[in-house]
Structure 1
Amino acid sequence: MARRGWGRLLTDVRPLRESADFRRLWVGQTVSQLGQQMATVTVAYQVWVLTESPFAVGTLGIVALVPLIALGLYGGALVDHYDRRKVALWTAAGLWLCTAALLAQALLDSESVGLLYGVVAVQSGLFAVNSPARSAIIPRLVPVHLLPAANALGMAAFNLGFTVGPLLGGVLIAWWGVASTYAVDLLTFTAALYALVRLPPILPAKEPGRVPGLRSVVEGIRWLRRAPNLRMTFVVDLCAMVLAQPRALFPALALTVYAGGPSALGLLQAAPAIGSLVAFAFSGWISRVHRQGIAVVLAIVAYGMSVALAGVAAIGVPGVLWLVVVMLAFSGSADMVSSAYRSTMLQQAAPDELRGRLQGVFTVVVAGGPRLGEFVAGSVAELTSEAEAMLYGGVACVVATLLVVTWQRGFLRYDARRPTP
């Protein structure tokens, strides 16, 4: 059914109406993201309280990066050779157990940073397999023309959790301590497990049941080398996430620059997601844009400029928290648009028999880039300051994006009506 008037501007929810399986998956993801983001901000808070070092908080990114890269590439091969539902379900169960471990260490008043690093590393490895499995499932549940809308809904689920989760996490930490946030995460993650249980089997397109080896992983990477447009979606995202990811700076900004506490930290953590949700509310136009390469580049440039301006605000008016929050919200809006189009390009242009492996690479880039970016930001802040690290990172993101697009100008001609990898 064609949408008219305001309906063409507001969120496109047709994927939720047309696919009950996608609807359950989306609801489960939305609910579970709430608890997961509460747990994420709590881990960073615990590390900061134990060490008072932005470098130690940033090191969480490196700890997560290694298993993410190793299992992300191989996990994609598993997704292409086994029932995608089972792969997603078993890894989700493992993630649930990791949350139980975080709850246990909080209840036992553990002060071991090493233990926190260890649990984060295991979580990252399981996520590296779970995420490509879930992403590769979506094109089997909704028609091709609704993929942009489905991906926008997926980003909204993530960012709703990223908005409410840190805010509630900050409040719960202040009232009842860190154990309370891990307990909520344990409860809400059950919704994601239920949604996966209800899915039908989603078997691989080719060679079902064959145990994938290194050759299978290499096959996906070789195909990607011959796909310049999809390769560029990864490159430009790395420009943003490695060079201008400020998340590791938020604990220090909240507790020093803005003289706040867990509540200020929750607001900073939530700011990008608030912007993303505002963009999502008016995302009805996303499905009508066909020159998606240009859209991705413009969104990433806007992201870098927003992060840089957040740094300027923190330097120039360090007592005004709301100004930094607004700038970070703009960065979240831009990131939402970029992510929706990059996901759609991969799902449309990649063949189904390679989709799991390419989603594995996508997961390494999308989740690994911010982890590496946290380490970079924490290291730069250790040498300069948190505000300067945001400024330098945002400028570097814009410059790097423009340089790589100049090198690969064909990306700007990508047209969703004729998707070419």
Structure 2
Amino acid sequence: MRGTPSGRILVRLRNALLDVTPLRSSRPFRLLWTGRSLSGLGSQMTLVAVMYQIWESTHSTMWTGAVGLAQAVPVLVLGLFAGALVDRVDRRKIYLLTTAGQAVCALLLTLQALLAPLPPAGVLALVAAQSCCVAAGGPAARTFVPHLLPREQLAAGLALNRISFQGAMLAGPALGGLVTGGLGVGVCYLTDAVTFLAAFLGALGLPRMAPGAESARPGVRGVLDGLAFLARTPAIRGALLTDLATTVLSMPISLFPLINAERFDGDPRTLGLFLTAVAVGGVVASLFSGTFTRLPRPGLVMLAGSGTWGVALALCGAAPGAWTALGCLALAGAADTVSVVARSTVIQTHTPLELLGRVSAAEQIVGQAGPDVGNMRAGVVADVTSGTTALVSGGLLCIGAVALVSVTTADLRSASAPSPSPSSEAPAGP
């Protein structure tokens, strides 16, 4: 069958689709992925509920904007120190403790919503406490894939994590809005707490995960060791710089309302489609992630994805019509997924296990801070010029930055990943 033309076409099609081999071959990964997928959905629901509760009690955009700060600041301040801690102790234990901490925060949000609503500052304090757990739990979770999967399945596992994240981003806010509108914010928070229980149970079956041959030194010394490793490892340094430059120079989210008003008469239906288009493009890329996770040069794949992101945004700014612009945003979302999965593959294949917590913390910080700074940059440029100029110039700056990193970082261009095993190329069995 595989030797016939139809068999070869079937094999090529299966190789182009999302590779679910890690879910079939590793029970611990399957349970972890299921639990984290559910908790990601719950977290997106809670974000909607928090925004709604804060708005209802203040009717102030300053307070709703503070929700993002409450989530970001703990990760930025504690991230590197949390990464050093992850590299000193059992990573499974850190993840279980921080997941339990997030569940407790969700339960406290539930109780205050159902019994005695807190003032806005109290709600934000609980959000910040939950984010403190994310600061340590996130880097710990990022170290699991190399522990649980053979190296040739690493990219496939990262692609599965990415589609889980995107699915939560697509479905979570809509579901959170429905639950909040129909049953109240308390039920939304309670749902989040239950999903954290699923994440906790999914991680219980994980093996003990020691940090490696050499534990991180305590405190600032451990952080400095991690930063020194980043500085002397061109492939990882180039990957993080590419991601930071791309998001800082061309993040478009804050421009969407203005672009919608300037180009498409401010129709709210169009505005809603802007974000949806980016997410849909990302999901499609994830579904067909076999086309790039099996390629032998993830560094080149990342550079190509980042450059395509810039091209798509520049074309979106110059697009003559709404549907063309939305198509460009879908292309940008697909390129972002390609870049993120390839970047994580480069980082995790070039980082020793004993440093993976600190490097993962740096990756998490870049992913948190870059988009926030990029959205601020875009808003400032748009205030001085126009939304279209800010979007087009951001895309062009992104292309230039990616080209600069590519030219100056040969190790990133040549960074390789293990080839998939023959079994992963074969058609899936029953």
Q: Report whether the alignment pairs 1:279 with 2:285.
A: yes
Amino acid at match of 1:274: V
Cα distance in structure 1, aligned partners of 2:161 and 2:326: 23
Unpaired segments of 5 or more residues in structure 1? none
Residue 385 (structure 1) shift = 6.6
Q: How many residues align?
A: 408
Cα distance in structure 2, aligned partners of 1:393 and 1:76: 32
> Using a 3 Å threshold, how does the CA distance of structure 1 residues 45 and 308 change in structure 2: closer, same or farther?
farther
> Using a 3 Å threshold, how does the CA distance of structure 1 residues 33 and 222 change in structure 2: closer, same or farther?
same
Cα distance in structure 2, aligned partners of 1:71 and 1:331: 31
Q: Counterpart in 1 of 2:344? A: 343
Q: Report whether the alignment pairs 1:297 with 2:297.
A: no
Residue 5 (structure 1) shift = 3.1
Where 1:159 maps in the other structure, the secondary structure is helix
Cα distance in structure 2, aligned partners of 1:346 and 1:292: 10
> Using a 3 Å threshold, how does the CA distance of structure 1 residues 98 and 252 change in structure 2: closer, same or farther?
farther
Cα distance in structure 1, aligned partners of 2:389 and 2:66: 19
Compare 275-284 and 92-101 and name the one that shifted more. 92-101
Amino acid at match of 1:285: T
Asked if the contact 1:47/1:56 (under 8 Å) is kept, the reply is yes
Q: Report whether the alignment pairs 1:190 with 2:197.
A: yes
Q: Counterpart in 2 of 1:329? A: 330
Q: Report whether the alignment pairs 1:225 with 2:225.
A: no
Residue 276 (structure 1) shift = 1.4
Unpaired segments of 5 or more residues in structure 2? 3-7, 420-430
Asked if the contact 1:68/1:127 (under 8 Å) is kept, the reply is yes
Where 1:4 maps in the other structure, the secondary structure is helix
> Using a 3 Å threshold, how does the CA distance of structure 1 residues 417 and 10 change in structure 2: closer, same or farther?
closer
Q: Counterpart in 1 of 2:423? A: none
Amino acid at match of 1:361: A
> Using a 3 Å threshold, how does the CA distance of structure 1 residues 185 and 306 change in structure 2: closer, same or farther?
farther
Residue 68 (structure 1) shift = 1.4
Cα distance in structure 2, aligned partners of 1:184 and 1:328: 32
Residue 334 (structure 1) shift = 0.9
Amino acid at match of 1:147: L
Match of 2:249 among 239, 243, 267: 243
Q: Counterpart in 2 of 1:402? A: 403
Cα distance in structure 1, aligned partners of 2:136 and 2:149: 22
Match of 2:133 among 126, 130, 137: 126
> Using a 3 Å threshold, how does the CA distance of structure 1 residues 173 and 148 change in structure 2: closer, same or farther?
same
Compare 365-374 and 294-303 and name the one that shifted more. 365-374
> Using a 3 Å threshold, how does the CA distance of structure 1 residues 193 and 271 change in structure 2: closer, same or farther?
farther
- 1:202-221 equivalences in 2 (<5 Å): 202-206=209-213, 212-221=218-227
> Using a 3 Å threshold, how does the CA distance of structure 1 residues 242 and 63 change in structure 2: closer, same or farther?
farther
- 1:94-109 equivalences in 2 (<5 Å): 94-104=101-111, 106-107=113-114
Cα distance in structure 1, aligned partners of 2:265 and 2:63: 18
Per-residue CA shift, 1:388-409, capped at 9, x if unaligned? 6544443432333223333334
Cα distance in structure 2, aligned partners of 1:92 and 1:386: 40
Cα distance in structure 2, aligned partners of 1:298 and 1:370: 19
Cα distance in structure 1, aligned partners of 2:234 and 2:96: 33
Q: Counterpart in 2 of 1:146? A: 153
Cα distance in structure 1, aligned partners of 2:381 and 2:84: 36
Residue 191 (structure 1) shift = 1.5
Amino acid at match of 2:291: W
Cα distance in structure 2, aligned partners of 1:102 and 1:200: 32
Q: Report whether the alignment pairs 1:164 with 2:165.
A: no
Amino acid at match of 1:403: L
Compare 135-144 and 56-65 and name the one that shifted more. 56-65
Cα distance in structure 1, aligned partners of 2:259 and 2:49: 16
> Using a 3 Å threshold, how does the CA distance of structure 1 residues 117 and 386 change in structure 2: closer, same or farther?
farther
Where 1:289 maps in the other structure, the secondary structure is coil
Residue 310 (structure 1) shift = 4.3
Compare 24-33 and 140-149 and name the one that shifted more. 24-33
Residue 135 (structure 1) shift = 1.2
Amino acid at match of 2:233: A
Cα distance in structure 2, aligned partners of 1:407 and 1:76: 28
Residue 94 (structure 1) shift = 1.8
Amino acid at match of 1:347: Q
CA RMSD for the aligned pairs?
A: 3.5
Amino acid at match of 1:329: A
Cα distance in structure 1, aligned partners of 2:392 and 2:60: 22
Residue 206 (structure 1) shift = 3.1
Asked if the contact 1:62/1:372 (under 8 Å) is kept, the reply is no
Amino-acid identity (%): 36
Cα distance in structure 2, aligned partners of 1:78 and 1:37: 27
Residue 146 (structure 1) shift = 0.6
Per-residue CA shift, 1:249-269, capped at 9, x if unaligned? 6688899974549x965x554
Asked if the contact 1:48/1:251 (under 8 Å) is kept, the reply is no
Cα distance in structure 2, aligned partners of 1:376 and 1:100: 37
Q: Counterpart in 2 of 1:20? A: 27
Cα distance in structure 1, aligned partners of 2:397 and 2:63: 23
Amino acid at match of 1:158: F
